[in-house]
Amino acid sequence: MDRIVKNYLEDFLKKQHIEEKDMCKQFEIFSAYCAIAQRYDDLYDLVDVMTGDGDDCGIDAIAILVNGTIVNSVDEIDDLLEINKKLSNIEFIFVQAKTSSKFNYGDIGTFGAGVKDFCSEEHKMAQNESIKNKCKILEYIFDNATLMKEKPSCYLYYVTTGKWSNDKNCSARIDMVMEDIENLSMFKEVKYIPVDAEKLQKYYRSTIDVIETKIDFPKKILMPDIPNVTQSYLGYIDFKQYIKLITGENGEIRKSVFYDNVRDYQGDNSVNGEMKDTIKREPSKFVLFNNGVTIICKKLSSFRDEVTLVGYQIVNGCQTSHVVFNNIDALKNTDLQINVKLIETDDDETVAKIIKATNRQTAVSDDQLVALNEFHKRLEEYYKSFSGKEKLFYERRSKQYAYVCDIEKVRIVSIGMQIKTVASMFFDKPHLASRYYGRLMNSIDGIFSDDHSLMPYYTSAYTMYRLEYFFRNKVLGLKYRKFRYFILMVLKYDLAQGKIPEMNSKNIEKLCDIILKIVNDNDKFIKEIKKITKILDDYVDDIDSTESTKRVVLVEQLKKEYI
């Protein structure tokens, strides 16, 4: 392993609070993180994607993306269908990592054979529980094929610490693997990406570096002075220049620049269909028919016709961007122009207002604008009041802390995670926590109420942060991790020793103080968790099955232990 990769690996382990001693396991987790980040750059639990543990079909990690989010259960697919009616932007990401200093022809083929077996209707290889769970999700997606907007994409990342030199035998084996998987007729595209030390370094750098892109923007005018805005421009640019803003070095669409856009790509709906028709039939009129895009950046420098954008987000224009990207071949010999509004500001309140205003011009639900509510602003400030080992960061807006180098990512709490933890611990909904968070939020009356104490929200997230640390480093048995949301609820009841206070009372804060004192004492916390897992053993027939985690009856049984 070269010195740079080793240094990056150590940095990653520290930031993720991973104390795994086995070098091969460390490298597998690191490689999975770097590879998946090329397709998905939002927060998720690495434990949920790791599959390498014997009977793994030669696959170390699997991430399944549906409608722009990683899914880990069939229930999440149902929730996405209920909300969106369709399944779109489906991607299967497979990762295999070897610490070997060279690419091995046989291992390349073994990885491909494992992926093919995973995707086949009949599985010939032995499968561990993680692989079986991912298979169930794949099968369920294809059982709902009529609801897919298009076939999924399949990406295989084979990672080593060596140097890729386009060896004839290895390249031929990759081609054979791709052909085998393509012959399953399941995917619109199959890509097998060999990742060597140099590319792995680039992948990791991309997760910690601020995005910076330089474009030609000659047709621009400087807008008047605006409070809290450093500078802003209005104009239009050639589509070739715009493509630079939305694609990565491998030509893939750069999803991370759309995280502040409240809606993901909606696929081939009527509006996007009209855009596509204009591109193909009257590209010169696109600039007249399209509302254009709004880009906010942390730093903007301009020199003559050239501008450099640093840390930018496309807050309105996700649909336009994807339609242009998907039809790039039809644009090669055209002069299509795109309206652009370019704003430099580091004022969060201004950013929020721009996002809300630009997205109110189209049909966007209030749920999608939840991050802009006053409650979440206060909660973000409340998180900032903690320091030292109790410090967490509430990510009210997606990617808010992505490029702050001195923040450990495991300390970042997304809105989705906040909903799941507080719903489980203080609203007694652990059986719903594995569902898509948008569905969960809509099923809980009063969550994020303005009169609520903020302390229970922080307490639930901090308890989960500590709990995940023990699971991640195998201090607690991984078989109980699927019950982590139940553990939050039971911990509350066990320490309350009586009636649970209302969320807007002083007594709820006293209870939170008690919980936090236990959680911050390793010995007491582990003792408490082991006490709870023994109770789980009494009520759960098959502790390895995920079915019990969905049962409301288990919630009631556990509550009766204390009420």
| Contact indicator for 167, 204 with CB cutoff of 8 Å | no
Identify the CA nearest to 340 among candidates 295, 394, 387, 406: 295
pLDDT for 407 equals: 83
Lookup: tokens for 244: 């630079």
Q: CA–CA separation, 519 vs 462, rounded Å? A: 8
pLDDT, the chain, mean = 88
pLDDT of 535 above 50? yes
Q: CA–CA separation, 355 vs 351, rounded Å? A: 6
Q: CA–CA separation, 560 vs 563, rounded Å? A: 5
If one counts every other C-beta atom within 10 angstroms of the C-beta of residue 165, the result is 12
Identify the CA nearest to 373 among candidates 448, 286, 315, 317: 448
Planar angle of CA 221, 225, 228, nearest 5 degrees: 120
Q: CA–CA separation, 267 vs 32, rounded Å? A: 28
pLDDT of 366 above 80? no
pLDDT for 191 equals: 95
Task: Dump pLDDT digits (tens) for 43-62.
Answer: 889 999 999 888 899 999 99
H/E stretch holding 356: helix 348-359
Instruction: Give me the phi and psi of 449, to 5 degrees please.
Output: -70, 140
Q: CA–CA separation, 45 vs 49, rounded Å? A: 7
pLDDT of 413 above 90? yes
pLDDT for 259 equals: 67
**In the 3-class helix/strand/coil scheme, how is 75-133 assigned residue by residue?**
HHHHHHHHHHCCECCCEEEEEEECCCCCCCHHHHHHHHHHHHHHHCCCCCCCCCHHHHH
pLDDT for 163 equals: 93
| Contact indicator for 421, 483 with CB cutoff of 8 Å | no
Residues 119-145 as b/e (b if ≥16 CB within 10 A, e otherwise) read beeeeebebebbbebbbebbebbeeee
Domain edges within the chain: 3-208, 212-364, 369-560
Residues 67-86, mean pLDDT to the nearest whole number: 87
- Whole-number percent of the chain with pLDDT over 70: 94
Place of tokens 């898509």: 436
Q: CA–CA separation, 170 vs 109, rounded Å? A: 9
- Assign 3-state DSSP to the chain and report helix, strand, coil percentages, each to 5: 50, 15, 35
Task: Dump pLDDT digits (tens) for 116-148.
Answer: 999 999 999 999 999 999 999 999 999 999 999
> How many helices (H) does the chain have, and how many strands (E)?
20, 13
Q: CA–CA separation, 424 vs 445, rounded Å? A: 13
Lookup: tokens for 143: 């059982």
pLDDT of 360 above 70? no
pLDDT for 562 equals: 82
Task: Dump pLDDT digits (tens) for 542-558.
Answer: 888 888 888 889 999 99
Planar angle of CA 488, 494, 500, nearest 5 degrees: 85
pLDDT tier, 361 (very low <50, low <70, confident <90, very high otherwise): very low
